[in-house]
């Protein structure tokens, strides 16, 4: 049977990236099916609950269909893809926290590695021509980025090796380093997605994301640092900084820009590709620099506590070298600079807080 050319399947459809992808493809005229069983609430508790987003998508997008399916349910996944035969699969569902993974290693691996394999094999059986786009993570590089020479500046750490002046490229090794259990399970899924592309010649890619962010994030302390930081600031909560003097650097990319790249790959797919997809150097910031930006935009001072011990396997400095992705897809570009993204989050969180306080 032929693929249904107007159908896109998005896993983790109520999460930050998934919901942006759902909305983006719906606006492009696709019928979008989403898989999400609100497992984020099980991982992180009430603050991680994404049920509100499921409700929003169903009420505002007439072409959206929701499936409360667990990607660990192999038969359920096989059956759904056999029925839908979508023309594209965007896989954003995951257990996303390397801290949380240590407490739930079976759930972590079964979700990230086995769940991805379930989807890949279902796609191979039902729709092998459909582009399979996997949201991977920069944690597949383990702590190897920490072996790059760095120098300390007033508010951040910075690379001190000219080879990394534009950031981390895709040729950095993923071997012989500490990843965290989360990084290991995501690396397993990353390699499997590559292998289905190379071995079966399926159109697949892994997007090794940095800090994907935006106003639709249900940010929690263990995942979604920038969104969580904004929430702490506006709600008057103390933010915990773990090691590296608060100068650890991340690059940040708005989920909308991630969705637009996914569309670019969907239109012109390749097999077994990997791309580092983050905000790049221009959209990077340290925690201390993020404090300053949020304080400036909200008008509120951020309270924080500092713990000398850093998180195991945490990157001291990481931002993506976007040279490869821009070479392969020159029409794609980042449209949301960091300051604009933070301003959008500040406005969104403030609006939510105001509505909750109204009688």
Looking at residues 337-354, what average pLDDT do you find?
Answer: 87
Looking at residues 123-150, what average pLDDT do you find?
Answer: 97
Residues 297-331 have pLDDT tens digits of 999 999 999 999 988 778 999 999 999 999 999 99
pLDDT at 23 over 60: yes
**pLDDT score at 354:** 56
**pLDDT score at 225:** 77
**pLDDT score at 286:** 97
pLDDT at 1 over 60: no
Looking at residues 331-344, what average pLDDT do you find?
Answer: 95
What is the percent of the chain with per-residue pLDDT over 90, rounded to a whole number?
83
In angstroms, the CA 180 to CA 183 distance is 5
In angstroms, the CA 97 to CA 57 distance is 25
CA distances from 329 to 155, 165, 167 (A): 33, 21, 18
Inter-axis angle of helices 287-298 and 338-357, nearest 10: 50
In angstroms, the CA 240 to CA 313 distance is 17
In angstroms, the CA 86 to CA 102 distance is 35
pLDDT at 359 over 60: no
pLDDT at 2 over 80: no
Write down the pTM of the prediction.
Answer: 0.93
**pLDDT score at 217:** 65
Strand partners, 317: 249
pLDDT at 165 over 80: yes
**pLDDT score at 216:** 74
For the chain, how many residues are written?
359
Gyration radius from the chain CA atoms: 19
- Average per-residue pLDDT in the chain? 93
Residue with tokens 């400036």: 296
Q: What's the per-residue H, E or C state across the chain?
A: CCCEEEEEEEECCCCHHHHHHHHHHHHCCCEEEEECCCHHHHHHCHHHCCHHHHHHHHHHCCCEEEECCCCCCHHHHHHHHHHHCEEEEEECCCCCCHHHHCCCHHHHHHHHHHHHHHHHHHHHHHCCCCCEEEEEEHHHHCCHHHHCCEEECCCCEEECCHHHCCCECCCCCCCCCCCHHHHHHHHHHHHHHHHHHHHCCCCEEEEEECEEECCCCCCECCECHHHHHHHHHHHCCCEEEECHHHCCEEEEEEHHHHHHHHHHHHHCCCCCEEEEECCCHHHEEEHHHHHHHHHHHHCCCCCEEEECCCCCCCCCECCECCHHHHHHCCCCCCCCCHHHHHHHHHHHHHHHHHHHHCC
pLDDT at 222 over 60: no
Work out the pLDDT band at 96, boundaries 50, 70, 90.
Answer: confident
For the four alpha carbons of 164, 147, 246 and 254, in that order, the dihedral sign comes to positive
The domain limits of the chain are 4-216+253-283+321-335
Q: Judging by beta carbons within 10 Å of its beta carbon (0-12, 13-18, 19+), is residue 145 exposed, middle or buried?
A: buried
Buried b (16+ CB within 10 A) or exposed e, 280-295: bbebbbbbbbbbebbe
Looking at residues 66-81, what average pLDDT do you find?
Answer: 98
Residues 266-293 have pLDDT tens digits of 999 999 999 999 999 999 999 999 999 9
Q: Judging by beta carbons within 10 Å of its beta carbon (0-12, 13-18, 19+), is residue 73 exposed, middle or buried?
A: middle
pLDDT at 191 over 90: yes
Q: Which numeric CATH code is attached to 4-216+253-283+321-335?
A: 3.40.50.720
């Amino acid at each position: 049977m032929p693929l249904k050319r107007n159908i896109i399947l998005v896993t983790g459809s109520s999460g930050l990236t998934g919901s942006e992808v759902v909305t983006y493809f719906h606006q492009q005229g696709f019928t979008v099916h989403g898989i999400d069983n609100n497992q984020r609430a099980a991982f992180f508790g009430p603050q991680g609950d994404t049920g509100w987003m499921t409700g929003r998508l169903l009420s505002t997008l007439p072409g959206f269909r929701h499936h409360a399916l667990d990607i660990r349910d192999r038969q359920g996944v096989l059956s759904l893809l056999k029925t839908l035969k979508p023309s594209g699969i965007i896989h954003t569902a995951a257990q996303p926290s390397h801290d949380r993974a240590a407490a739930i290693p079976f759930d972590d691996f079964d979700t990230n590695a086995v769940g991805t394999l379930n989807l890949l094999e279902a796609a191979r059986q039902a729709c092998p021509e459909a582009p399979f786009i996997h949201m991977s993570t920069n944690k597949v590089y383990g702590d190897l980025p920490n072996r790059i020479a760095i120098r300390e500046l007033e508010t951040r750490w910075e690379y001190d090796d000219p080879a990394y002046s534009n950031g981390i490229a895709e040729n950095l090794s993923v071997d012989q380093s500490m990843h965290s259990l989360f990084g290991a399970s995501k690396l397993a899924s990353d390699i499997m997605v590559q292998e289905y592309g190379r071995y079966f010649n399926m159109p697949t890619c892994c997007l090794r994301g940095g800090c994907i962010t935006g106003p639709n994030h249900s940010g929690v302390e263990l995942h979604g640092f920038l969104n969580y930081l904004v929430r702490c600031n506006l709600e008057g909560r103390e933010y915990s900084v773990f090691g590296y003097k608060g100068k650890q650097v991340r690059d940040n990319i708005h989920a909308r820009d991630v969705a637009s790249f996914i569309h670019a790959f969907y239109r012109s797919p390749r097999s077994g590709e990997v791309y580092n997809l983050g905000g790049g150097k221009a959209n990077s910031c340290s925690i201390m620099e993020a404090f300053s930006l949020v304080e400036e935009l909200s008008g509120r001072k951020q309270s924080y506590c500092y713990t000398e011990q850093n998180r195991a396997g945490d990157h001291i400095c990481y931002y993506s070298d976007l040279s490869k992705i821009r070479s392969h897809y020159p029409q794609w570009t980042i449209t949301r600079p960091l300051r604009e993204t933070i301003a959008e989050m500040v406005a969104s969180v403030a609006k939510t807080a105001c509505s909750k306080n109204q009688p």
